[in-house]
Structure 1
């Protein structure tokens, strides 16, 4: 019997849509969805024509978190994943969110409905988050006697002070998209986050894809370093841009007047 398709990836004019496709379960995470999301991120890393990625959920919710009933129904597979807690490197559950940081293009999460547990950790893995004001978010693992373990801590520390992170993680409470905006967990609010994500992606597509990739990696790798370390990252990534084709095209588009304006960029060469 053919397995149900948990995630679909489509690419149109350089914009990739990654859609969670388990709407009847509010896109709750089972093993098939976990691996499909990880596979999608790895695949998009290798596609230089992709200019932006939008991650969104089909149906009433973005993602309602781990489907414990489904996971517990497959004890042997669950045991194999449990063994990954002893890995000295990122495991599959952590790749669920962290893998999107390796994609050399802006990743935008369009959040609506429920965004719980692994769902919010997936959203945190995106570069930009757009949510409806009435979206419901929660780092809900405490209610199951667990801690966030799908990359949540590594991502959360970049966005909020530690006391805010502790309150959200220890309480597991549900909060709205509007409060998430106040807490700086989401970037923008919109009644139609998918449309807003598309508009933003179209704007980003007017920039050099190499500059977008380098800017993303620069910020991720310099953010927590010392001053000298951050400056070293600046030098490193600028070296990979200056004088190359897309840098020259950007200069032409901005200085060459109407005759040169709008010249198409070449495929991205920076892969991280």
Structure 2
């Protein structure tokens, strides 16, 4: 589809594979990769024919976190980056993970090797995480005297209890894929997470693209909400689906053997 030096996007039919591409650095995030990932999310959000996304890393790791040497050796770029902390909305760094939640298709991360800090927060932005049993994962910011500030806290709270999140965050401990699955940090384990991620992406994108998008946005909006807010969200998204073209096609598909194609459109969040 397109590519930059640090992020390569390949389109396989209606699935986009977004690959971090600094393999010699274990895909450590520098400013170029940060912007390339954010650009990829914005571009793919506009693609109405897209049905799923797989996030992956080239080389020995998914993403080993922030490349501190590259970032702090660029003071002219680091200064405006620091100013992002004073913005009253999700900043450039937080969009690294949160941007994937705004796309109305399933996003599946295939995790192998090291998945630390910024890398883990990127994986958390996916809807599903598939990891190798021997993958190494860590909320590592405390090691560098920092906290996770790339959307990670907003995403961790959906997956685990606060005591589990505190243990990960305050200790910077490295856990393997098996323990990550046990505590809910990853969804599935697979010896070949890329193959498994593609299969899951296909499974989650077979039905009406409007229903898939609405289901994703509904769960994200309602999961931490009150009962009244959650039921209001149900009503809102159902109004956007019922009686529309893709819902009628869904009924026709289930009433006959015809595999009528869905309209290439999706609702917005």
TM-score tier, shorter chain, comes to: over 0.9
Which 5+ residue runs of structure 1 have no aligned equivalent? none
**Alpha-carbon distance between aligned partners in 2 of 1:252 and 1:94, rounded to the nearest angstrom:** 41
Q: CA RMSD in A?
A: 1.1
Number of the residue aligned with 1:64:
64
Q: Helix, strand or coil: the match of 1:93?
A: coil
Q: Helix, strand or coil: the match of 1:201?
A: helix
Q: Helix, strand or coil: the match of 2:203?
A: helix
Number of the residue aligned with 1:139:
139
**Alpha-carbon distance between aligned partners in 2 of 1:269 and 1:59, rounded to the nearest angstrom:** 34
**1:204, CA displacement in angstroms?**
2.3
1:265 equivalent to 2:262? Answer yes
**1:84, CA displacement in angstroms?**
0.6
Number of the residue aligned with 1:28:
28
Question: What is the aligned residue count?
Answer: 267
**Alpha-carbon distance between aligned partners in 2 of 1:253 and 1:205, rounded to the nearest angstrom:** 15
Number of the residue aligned with 2:90:
90
**1:269, CA displacement in angstroms?**
2.9
Please identify runs of 4+ aligned residues in structure 1 that moved more than 3 A: none
Number of the residue aligned with 2:252:
252
**Under a length normalisation based on structure 2, what TM-score does the superposition of the two structures give?**
0.97
Whether the aligned pair in 2 keeps the contact of 1:45 and 1:271 (CA below 8 Å) is: no
Mapping of 1:109-128 within 5 angstroms? 109-128=109-128
**Under a length normalisation based on structure 1, what TM-score does the superposition of the two structures give?**
0.96
**Alpha-carbon distance between aligned partners in 2 of 1:167 and 1:57, rounded to the nearest angstrom:** 27
Deviations 1:216-260 (A, max 9, x none): 00000011111111000000000111111111111111122x2x2
Deviates more, 1:234-243 or 1:8-17: 8-17
**Alpha-carbon distance between aligned partners in 2 of 1:7 and 1:142, rounded to the nearest angstrom:** 27
**Alpha-carbon distance between aligned partners in 2 of 1:104 and 1:13, rounded to the nearest angstrom:** 17
Deviates more, 1:48-57 or 1:197-206: 197-206
Number of the residue aligned with 1:161:
161
**Alpha-carbon distance between aligned partners in 2 of 1:249 and 1:4, rounded to the nearest angstrom:** 38
Q: Helix, strand or coil: the match of 1:248?
A: helix
Q: Helix, strand or coil: the match of 1:191?
A: coil
Q: Helix, strand or coil: the match of 2:149?
A: coil
Whether the aligned pair in 2 keeps the contact of 1:7 and 1:21 (CA below 8 Å) is: yes
Number of the residue aligned with 2:224:
224
Number of the residue aligned with 1:73:
73
Number of the residue aligned with 1:105:
105
Which 5+ residue runs of structure 2 have no aligned equivalent? none
Deviations 1:152-196 (A, max 9, x none): 100001111000000000000000011000001111100001000
Q: Helix, strand or coil: the match of 1:126?
A: coil
**1:271, CA displacement in angstroms?**
2.1
**Alpha-carbon distance between aligned partners in 1 of 2:250 and 2:4, rounded to the nearest angstrom:** 44
Whether the aligned pair in 2 keeps the contact of 1:44 and 1:103 (CA below 8 Å) is: yes
**Alpha-carbon distance between aligned partners in 1 of 2:32 and 2:14, rounded to the nearest angstrom:** 26
Mapping of 1:186-205 within 5 angstroms? 186-205=186-205
Q: Helix, strand or coil: the match of 2:241?
A: coil
**1:4, CA displacement in angstroms?**
6.4
**1:265, CA displacement in angstroms?**
1.1
Number of the residue aligned with 1:211:
211
